[in-house]
Structure 1
Amino acid sequence: MTPMVTKHIPDLSDRYPTRTGGAGRRIGRTDPAVWGTVTHPALSGFDADGFAAVEDLLTPTEVADFGAEIGRLAADPDLAEDDRVIVEKSSRRVRSIFEVHRLSAAVADLVRETRVVGLARQLLGSQVYLHQTRINYMPGFRGGGFYWHSDFETWHAEDGMPSPRAVSLSIALTDNYPVNGSLMVMPGSHRSFVGCPGSTPAEHYRESLQEQEIGVPSQADIAELANQHGIVQFTGRAGSALLFDSNIMHGSSNNITPFPRSNIFLVFNSVENALAEPYAAPARRPTYIAARDFTPV
């Protein structure tokens, strides 16, 4: 018996079409990047660049404490078979742990602090909730990178996020060097939405969280954006952070150095931008990846 395949029918009111079955296309962003009043000096260039570096967000003592906390979580035998734990395809080492604010009281306390959530409120101009939280581990020698992509493209297609009114905060728990797979961004690329080719398979998240192949732009689009905007790499000591727009093009290379890289990754979405049904996927992703509790932080 041939299994029934449900074909996604694009929402005709969708302002950011992607994965419609054919080639992707670039369109101009129709939403602002900054919705509120910015007072933090580090955020002054966010509207133009789509990102901001915040030095010393955590103290050295906090870095040490959170480093021990994420080490504890990675080694916790009770989490070994948990769906929230993502491992590398080849080495089977822990790559990410999702919904970390529910697994760690220390992280839950951190996200509520004004120095953290306050940055998102300024940019998004509203109360915010946690769309996603995770720890990213990039061990030395065999740490896998993340190919070029826009987070909003995935969150829009697979989670039903209507507009790019969300920001991500990556807090470094290790030193970020130019050689150990630190994050690269294309300044100003958040002004263009890059629709991606193809369509979304069922339960695509099981593969994409290890290695993303669907929901990535064409090489031609990546080259055009890089030539237009350039590429900036986020480097700095542990405790620093990068706040970036959900639609900015970013990625990271593999880490073949002995120097590991890890971070706490927090995604804040405006409560006025709550998720609907997926725009380009057959079903919702699990709530540990895309929260549907819109309670403000």
Structure 2
Amino acid sequence: MNLKKITRASPVVWSKNNFSPLNAEQISFYKENGFIKLKNIIDQQSINEILNRVMELYNTNGENVVSELQEETIRQIFEIHNEPTLKDFYQHDYVLKAVKQILDDQVYIYQSKINYKKAFTGKSFNFHTDYITWHNVDGMPEPRAINIDICVTEQSFYNGALMVVPKSHLYYVPAENEQPKDQKFNFKDNLQTQDYDTPKTEIFKKLIETYGIEYIALKPGDILLFDPNLIHGSSNNISPYDRIKLMFSYNSVTNKPKKSVRPNYMANHNIEEVF
């Protein structure tokens, strides 16, 4: 498999010679690897506030709540940027400055969610890239977007920490089985079954053989910035500790998808708040 044939054309870092708040070394690392981990960005009091609100939301039910397959355990809660108590975190000064530094444009929340892996029962997320779905199903023109993970509880090897394939963001990897671009398709069920949008096996193997897989261990208050075209996934939570994180996806205002068939809570169709 010749990886040159699927090399990414779009920039990873859109700004030039802007080294604040991320310094030149950090920007270079993100550009080369597709992610960067930043320690102690959110203070412990704020983490406690997040955790309290997450526990309250865990007992709710609605269209934006996804449970584990054939279980009542919650897997994901979408559209959390509409939660007043979580507003300060997706509008966090450092986070927004870093996002705009990389994307070099005004941004808006494209997707937001809590990823919750309950102790012992939290299930895996198959390896995938977000951009496969955002581009093929939603119609996002370019990967001029970024994901921010806010670590709420410790993320370790044992409780299903994120795994990434470094440098995989530099290639456009086609899906083995693409999600249908059809409003009648049950996109919510697919978040449980994960039958679609995994990377083609031959290419995926080649990327792993070339670049390996890295576990992203995080402590509460750490954040992870990663490119939406980066291949990532996570294993089951086999530990007695819950794994909880907030995830905010920011998109450039000039990169709005042309026509998304997914529900608004999965792919924000409305640019109401611009930063």
Identify whether the pair has TM-score above 0.5, normalized to the shorter chain.
yes
Aligned counterparts of 2:179 and 2:121: Cα–Cα separation in 1: 28
Given candidates 122, 136, 160, the residue that maps to 2:139 is 160
- Per-residue CA shift, 1:210-255, capped at 9, x if unaligned? 2311111122222111111111111021111110001001100111
Query: Who is 1:133 aligned against?
Result: 112
Aligned counterparts of 1:50 and 1:176: Cα–Cα separation in 2: 19
Cα distance change, pair 140–286 in 1 and its aligned pair in 2 (3 A): same
Q: CA deviation at 1:154?
A: 0.8
Given candidates 255, 267, 275, the residue that maps to 1:290 is 267
Unaligned stretches of 5+ in structure 2? none
- Per-residue CA shift, 1:241-290, capped at 9, x if unaligned? 11000100110011111111000000000111111125xxxxx1011110
Q: CA deviation at 1:83?
A: 0.7
Aligned counterparts of 2:38 and 2:95: Cα–Cα separation in 1: 10
Aligned counterparts of 1:206 and 1:234: Cα–Cα separation in 2: 27
Contact kept? 1:140, 1:260, Cα under 8 Å: yes
Query: More deviation in 90-99 or 193-202?
Result: 193-202
Contact kept? 1:28, 1:191, Cα under 8 Å: yes
Query: Who is 2:11 aligned against?
Result: 32
Contact kept? 1:196, 1:217, Cα under 8 Å: yes
Query: Who is 1:231 aligned against?
Result: 213
Q: CA deviation at 1:91?
A: 2.5
Aligned counterparts of 1:290 and 1:66: Cα–Cα separation in 2: 23
Aligned counterparts of 2:218 and 2:13: Cα–Cα separation in 1: 25
Larger radius of gyration: 1
**SS at 2:192's partner residue?**
coil
Unaligned stretches of 5+ in structure 1? 1-24, 279-283
Q: CA deviation at 1:199?
A: 4.2
Given candidates 149, 158, 165, the residue that maps to 1:179 is 158
Cα distance change, pair 268–157 in 1 and its aligned pair in 2 (3 A): same
Q: CA deviation at 1:44?
A: 4.0
- Per-residue CA shift, 1:83-137, capped at 9, x if unaligned? 10111013221111110111x2121222122212111101001111100001110
Q: Is 1:213 matched up with 2:198?
A: no
- Per-residue CA shift, 1:185-228, capped at 9, x if unaligned? 11111000111134433424122222311111122222111111
Query: Who is 2:235 aligned against?
Result: 253
TM-score by length of 1: 0.85
Aligned counterparts of 1:199 and 1:251: Cα–Cα separation in 2: 17
Question: Within 5 A, what are the aligned runs for 1:181-200?
Answer: 181-200=160-179
TM-score by length of 2: 0.91
Contact kept? 2:162, 2:215, Cα under 8 Å: yes
- Match of 1:215, as an amino acid? D
- Match of 1:123, as an amino acid? I
Cα distance change, pair 38–293 in 1 and its aligned pair in 2 (3 A): farther
Query: Who is 1:72 aligned against?
Result: 56
Given candidates 242, 246, 259, the residue that maps to 2:224 is 242
Aligned counterparts of 1:38 and 1:92: Cα–Cα separation in 2: 46
